[in-house]
Every structure is written in C-alpha cells, then in structure tokens.
C-alpha cells in the first residue's frame, strides 16, 4: 500500500503538470469510487482550474479555483497517471479527467480500496494525527503515552500519526531498536526520541528514492521507486539481519504482517551484542 513517501512522490510528479490546467471534460466510469455518494463529481470538476496539489497523510489533495477541494486515496492498488489522449485506456480505469492541453489524468484502481473524496470548502483532516516529518518527540510521547496498544498498532493508527503504513513502521522500529510488541505507553523517553528520529530518517531516505516498488506502484510519469532494495526488515523473513545476522522474524500484529530482528529489537532491556 502506498505510504507517505509513495504518495508524496505522486504529488511531486503531478505538481509540474496539473496546477493552472482547466479540466475540460470528465469521464467517471464508476460512481461508487466517489464519497459522499450523492455528490455530482462530474459537475463539480467540469471547467474548473486546478490551483494546487498537496499531500496530507496518505491523501492527494487537489484545490480548485472554486475554492473547493477533493482528495484521492490510492488505497492498495490505486494509480494516477498522466497520459496522452491516444494512450490505450487500461482495464480498471475509473476516472478520466481531460485537461485543456489534451493530456488526461487517469485514475485506475483494480482492487478499489482507493477512491475520491469530495471535501467542498472543508479541509476534512480533523481526524488525522500530525505529519511524521514534522512531529516532535514531545508530541509523539504525549500521543503514545495515551494508548495501551502495542507500538506497531499505534503507529499504524492515522489518528495518532498520519502517513505511516506497514513498511515504514517496521523499518522505523528496527532503526530505533524497539520491539514491535512493546506497549506504546511503556516506551522510555530515550526510546521515543530514537523512534521520532528513526521515522524521519527512514521517510527522508524513502522520499529520496521515490518510495518503494510494491506490486505496481509507480508515480504519475510511470517511473518506479527503488527504495525496496533498501528495506532492512520489511519483507525479509528468514534473511539475515543487516546488523547482527540473526534471521529476521515475521509475526502478525492486529492482522498486519510485522518484520523485526529479535536481537536488535529485544522485548525488554538493552540490546544484546
């Protein structure tokens, strides 16, 4: 599933193209990808000019010249592509926005966990936690101290911190040396500092590599990210830990596959060397 670095990469690739363009025609092939269901998305978008494209959490937020907004969530398999009019329309393309220069913005999502949310004049982000690249360890300590859930589940909760998913949580916990089943409210001050630092480092590194190539993730220009080669625990079950050679373990925490090194991320106490 695309996480913060992948979504930011899509936003960065749309930004030189979309702002200033008028949407001259809209083709919506599946109404059920639009929330709320009663909004007439075609009428709302037709002849509007895109003012800006921004990311908040895992959302791609588009501001229009009507001062209204909508966002696209890529879900598991969603893709936004800029295509020329004569490019073949692939199966599972649910929306085509025709731009005034003839190019088309296409939204394709075979598994349909993604979609389009109409916000109107609202920001619609009251439910979202702080951005992980901006959060301070003090803020994070306060939020983690208020939950008894294990740290892995807490960091996946978009209301607690917004934008992280399975890959970058596993990678951040490894870098911080924290066992994924540690209770969030039991983390020490130094562990939270290490975790805050790790989250930012991991995300910045992933952004630099334009995200991870998972399934068919590519940005709007069709280029694939290469951060996957840099994963140190995620999807590396039974492979040796890059630090200590212990085989990486995989467990399931609240239904999510979790990868960690039992030596570098001990449940309690100091790291064994």
Give residues in contact with Zn ion (CB under 5 A). Answer: 241, 243-244, 246, 261, 263-264
Smaller CB separation from Zn ion, 93 or 175: 175
Among residues 30 and 250, whose Cβ is nearest to Zn ion?
250
193 is catalytic: no
* Interatomic CA distance for residues 234 and 204, integer angstroms: 17
> Smallest gap, in angstroms, from Cβ of residue 248 to Zn ion?
8
240 is catalytic: no
Indicate which residue of 21, 46, 228, 256 is catalytic: 256
Distance CA 256, CA 189 (A): 26
**Residue nearer to Zn ion on the CB measure, 156 or 261:** 261
Q: Any catalytic annotation for residue 197? A: no
22 forms bridges with which residues in the sheet?
49
Smallest gap, in angstroms, from Cβ of residue 80 to Zn ion? 37
**Catalytic position from the list 5, 6, 55, 58:** 58
| Smaller CB separation from Zn ion, 181 or 246 | 246
For 112: left if phi > 0, alpha if psi spans -120 to 50, otherwise beta; the answer is: left
Q: Please, which residues bridge with residue 106 across strands? A: 81, 96
Min separation Cβ 179 and Zn ion, Å: 12
Residue nearest to Zn ion (CB): 241
Nearer to Zn ion, 35 or 263 (CB): 263
Instruction: Please provide the distance, in angstroms rounded to a whole number, between the alpha carbons at the two ends of the chain.
Output: 34
Q: How far is the CB of 249 from Zn ion (least distance, A)?
A: 10
User: Judged by CB, which is closer to Zn ion: 107, or 174?
Assistant: 174
Contact 76, 108 (CB under 8 A): no
> In Å, what is the CA distance from 32 to each residue of 1, 62, 252?
20, 20, 32
Please state the closest distance from residue 26 (CB atom) to Zn ion, in A: 51
Q: Quick one: which of 197, 222, 198, 199 has its CA closest to 210? A: 222
The least distance separating Zn ion from the CB of residue 140, rounded to whole angstroms, comes to 24
Task: Give the closest residue to 122 by CA, choosing from 86, 48, 71.
Answer: 71
- Distances in whole angstroms, Cα of residue 50 to Cα of each of 14, 33, 47, 198, 247: 11, 20, 10, 35, 49
256 is catalytic: yes
In 3-state terms, what secondary structure has residue 73?
strand
Catalytic annotation, residues: 2-3, 58, 256
């Amino acid at each position: 599933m695309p996480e913060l670095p992948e979504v930011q990469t899509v936003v960065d690739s749309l930004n030189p193209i979309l702002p200033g363009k008028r949407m001259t025609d809209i083709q919506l092939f599946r109404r059920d990808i639009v929330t709320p269901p009663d909004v007439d998305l075609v009428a709302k978008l037709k002849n509007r000019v895109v003012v800006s494209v921004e990311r908040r959490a895992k959302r791609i937020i588009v501001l229009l010249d009507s001062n209204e907004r909508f966002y696209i969530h890529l879900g598991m398999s969603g893709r936004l592509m800029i295509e020329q009019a004569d490019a073949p329309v692939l199966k599972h393309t649910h929306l085509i926005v025709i731009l005034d220069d003839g190019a088309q913005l296409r939204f394709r999502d075979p598994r349909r966990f993604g979609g389009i949310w109409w916000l109107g004049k609202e920001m619609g982000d009251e439910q979202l936690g702080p951005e992980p690249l901006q959060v301070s360890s003090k803020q994070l300590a306060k939020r983690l101290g208020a939950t008894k859930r294990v740290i892995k589940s807490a960091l996946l909760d978009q209301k607690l911190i917004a934008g992280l998913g399975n890959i970058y949580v596993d990678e951040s916990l490894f870098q911080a040396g924290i066992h994924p089943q540690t209770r969030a409210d039991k983390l020490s001050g130094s562990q939270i500092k290490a975790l805050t630092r790790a989250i930012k480092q991991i995300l910045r590194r992933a952004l630099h590599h334009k995200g991870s190539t998972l399934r068919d993730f590519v940005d709007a220009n069709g280029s694939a990210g290469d951060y996957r080669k840099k994963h140190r625990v995620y999807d590396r079950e039974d492979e040796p830990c890059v630090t200590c050679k212990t085989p990486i373990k995989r467990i399931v925490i609240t239904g999510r596959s979790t990868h960690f090194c039992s030596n570098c991320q001990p449940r309690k106490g100091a790291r064994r060397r």
